[in-house]
Amino acid sequence: MKISTILDHIDSGHMALPEFQRGYVWNREQVRGLFDSLYRRHPVGGLLVWATESKLATHRGDGPLAAGVVKLLLDGQQRMTSLYGVVRGRPPKFFDGNPQTLTGLMFHLDVQAFEFYQPVKMKDDPLWIDVTALMSQGQQGHERLVEKLAEDSRVGTKAIKYSARISRILGIGEIDLHVEEVTGADKSLDVVVDIFNRVNSGGTKLSKGDLALAKICADWPEGRDVMKAKLKHWARADYHFNLDWLLRSVNTVLTGEAKFQFLHEKTSEEIQDGLNRATKHIDTCLNLISGRLGLDHDQVLFGRFAVPVMARYLDRRTGGLDAKERDKLLFWFVQAGMWGRFSGSTESYVDQDLAALEEADGGLEKLLEQLRLWHGGLRVEAGHFTGWSLGARFYPVLYLLTRMGEARDWGTGLPLKANLLGKMSRLEVHHIFPKKQLYGRKFRKPEVNAVANFCFLTKDTNLDISATLPQEYFPAVEKAHPGALASQWIPSDPALWRIERYRDFLEARKVLLAAEMNRQMEELLHGDTRWLAGPPAAVPAKVFAASGITSEAEEETLESLNEWMRDKGLPRGMLAFDYTDPISGEQVAVFDLAWPDGIQSELSQPVAVLLNESNEVLALASRAGYRCFTTVDDFKRYVIIEILAMDEVVGT
């Protein structure tokens, strides 16, 4: 079938994209390479389509399908989307990607090369022609272009030679592509998706979540958009989740199972009901976690895969939770996050916890007992606060203590409780012993950014203290606001406030923090402290290697980078990504900002932005298969050149 005919079929609705297909992920270099191959008449592969009845076909986008039999692209989406976008000058209606990838393709008539528009390079050279403009004007455009070239003194008689090359570009539409059809009454969605996965085994193979979503959207075409709208709702509240996570929650609520295969047999009505119930329970969970625990934004929401389990528990309840049951459920959530319950094999642990709820003698107490058997003791020891950076698992614990306890700001003396302050944007991480002073005395980075050297203050207070040493500002704080230091678990011995005793200060404060954490956990249990009985949790023999985010300024830089990615039509990275041992779930490292599946999911390698890190950290990430960047500009350059294949000044 000729390329021009295929494009016409897309316009008329005779050819479209099935709902389960992923969005457009090619970059400009891949588009350029496709047109170069077509110009040289090199083979670019055929298409695989699913021929099915229009009334039974669920497709992407809002363009209507033609009546009768239609063809849904199973293999060839990226190529046909690229061709359509360049030839028509606009993306097809099923497009879901970055439209910049398809605009500005140019061709140099002398060197016979395709490149995307670069104003400085191409401005005064008449031999650079706009491919989209030529293709849209056809033969008339060809004639006008040749006339214009002939009139240009820099081209003159060479215009005749270039005419043949212009014709060759226009001839791309006449190239025949082999189209293989999957057809027949036996070709159900299950069969077709399996064919798709086999064909794409080396590329964009559907994940279990993708497959589940494909089956859902086959009966409920609006399903994907409805779910995305809910994700945006949570993102506005500073909780960033993805479709896979939401589907997991729908699955647990609807089936009591973690594996997506149990969704396959559910009807559209059941899925919609399950989504409504799941989102209602997720909202309840987030309100409880934010309001009672103070974990009110994404970076401190450790153990997010505990939420699908909590949603199932709430769904099985016939009435509301009383204070004791609510707090016991939150106790389980905190403990699961603190010890990394879902950092290893997420699906298997979610399944185990769901089973604990479903058994005849199951319920919340069975869930707690299973957690204790899995981890051992649940009491916190001082050594657990030995971690460092904003990525350490006990960083959210410190934030939780600040929000739940009696912690007060050192500038105003006002409490920092969750119901008084709201989001983290109003609080800043404060280094009790200033970084500048510690580095000046040759303390190492892990010591400078120790969790035990962190506290949370209002922005104004943080600025007022600046680089002043505790031995100087602590007495003033205590005089102005008696008890404010103790409210933030500061050792009372003034001798420990001196920088010469910094290491002793850390050890003393860790003891106070552990005691406060255990007290808060006992409060959540309302006296039922048997869950904290027995030996304390084991303290890791070695603190993990990678530090993660170490300052508020670094966090702001990374958040700005995520916004830049969003503006480019690309996915956000995971802030303070918890890189764990895949078997034990033990925290191995924290990467500042990471795309563990690649920026182009499963098409590009995992990427990590690691600012101000040691060679040890870089080596660890590299061994794990990550492409590492140590500056924002280097990362942006990678995105622009290799992902978007654009020529652009970094920082714009």
Helices 346-358, 306-316: axis angle to 10 degrees equals 20
CA distances from 387 to 383, 397, 410, 434, 452 (A): 8, 11, 24, 18, 8
Six-digit token pair at 551? 């300052």
pLDDT of residue 552: 65
pLDDT in tens, 99-128: 888 899 999 999 999 999 888 889 889 999
Q: What span, in angstroms and rounded, lies between the C-alpha atoms of 256 and 352? A: 11
pLDDT of residue 207: 61
- Strands annotated E in 113-174: 113-116, 128-130
Q: What span, in angstroms and rounded, lies between the C-alpha atoms of 26 and 63? A: 22
Contact call for residues 341 and 306 (beta carbons, < 8 A):
yes
Contact call for residues 416 and 427 (beta carbons, < 8 A):
yes
Q: What span, in angstroms and rounded, lies between the C-alpha atoms of 410 and 457? A: 7
Q: Running DSSP on this structure, what letter comes out for residue 586?
A: -
CA distances from 211 to 187, 217, 224, 249, 384 (A): 16, 10, 12, 16, 40
Contact call for residues 462 and 477 (beta carbons, < 8 A):
no
* SS3 state of residue 500: helix
Going by C-alpha positions, the residue among 95, 116, 94 that lies closest to residue 105 is 116
Q: What span, in angstroms and rounded, lies between the C-alpha atoms of 244 and 247? A: 5
pLDDT of residue 49: 86
- What letters, b where the CB count within 10 A reaches 16 and e where it falls short, cover 314-330? bbeeeeebeeeeebbbb
Distant-in-sequence contacts of 471-477, Cβ < 8 A, 24+ apart: 471/497, 471/498, 471/499, 473/410, 477/410
pLDDT of residue 250: 94
Contact call for residues 583 and 485 (beta carbons, < 8 A):
no
The 3-class secondary structure across 30-54, one letter per residue, is HHHHHHHHHHCCCCCCCEEEEEEEH
Q: What span, in angstroms and rounded, lies between the C-alpha atoms of 301 and 233? A: 17
Strand partners, 456: 429
> How big, in percent rounded to 5, are the helix, strand and coil portions of the chain?
55, 10, 35
* SS3 state of residue 129: strand
Q: What span, in angstroms and rounded, lies between the C-alpha atoms of 124 and 114? A: 17
Which residues, given as ranges, of the chain have pLDDT below 70?
19-20, 22, 56-58, 60, 185-194, 196-208, 210-211, 218, 344, 389-391, 418-426, 537-552, 581-587, 600-604, 645-652
CA distances from 557 to 166, 335, 425, 463, 575 (A): 47, 31, 14, 18, 11
Write the burial class of residue 36 (CB in 10 Å: 0-12 exposed, 13-18 middle, 19+ buried). Answer: middle
Going by C-alpha positions, the residue among 388, 420, 334, 383 that lies closest to residue 513 is 383
pLDDT of residue 197: 61
pLDDT of residue 419: 47
Residue 420 neighbours by CB under 8 Å, 6+ apart = 414
Residue 484 neighbours by CB under 8 Å, 6+ apart = 408, 409, 410, 413, 477, 478
Domain residues of the chain, as ranges? 3-181, 207-375, 382-532, 552-643
Strand partners, 72: 16, 50
Q: What span, in angstroms and rounded, lies between the C-alpha atoms of 310 and 242? A: 18
DSSP letters, 62-123, are: SPPPPSSEEEEEEE-HHHHHHHHHHHHSS--TT--S-GGGGS-EEEETTTTEEEE--HHHHT
pLDDT of residue 421: 41
Q: What is the CA radius of gyration of the chain?
A: 29
Going by C-alpha positions, the residue among 327, 300, 305 that lies closest to residue 239 is 300
Contact call for residues 415 and 406 (beta carbons, < 8 A):
yes
Six-digit token pair at 83? 């061709």
Pair type for strands 113-116 and 574-580: unpaired
Q: H or E stretch including 250?
A: helix 243-255
Q: What span, in angstroms and rounded, lies between the C-alpha atoms of 532 and 521? A: 8
Contact call for residues 77 and 125 (beta carbons, < 8 A):
no
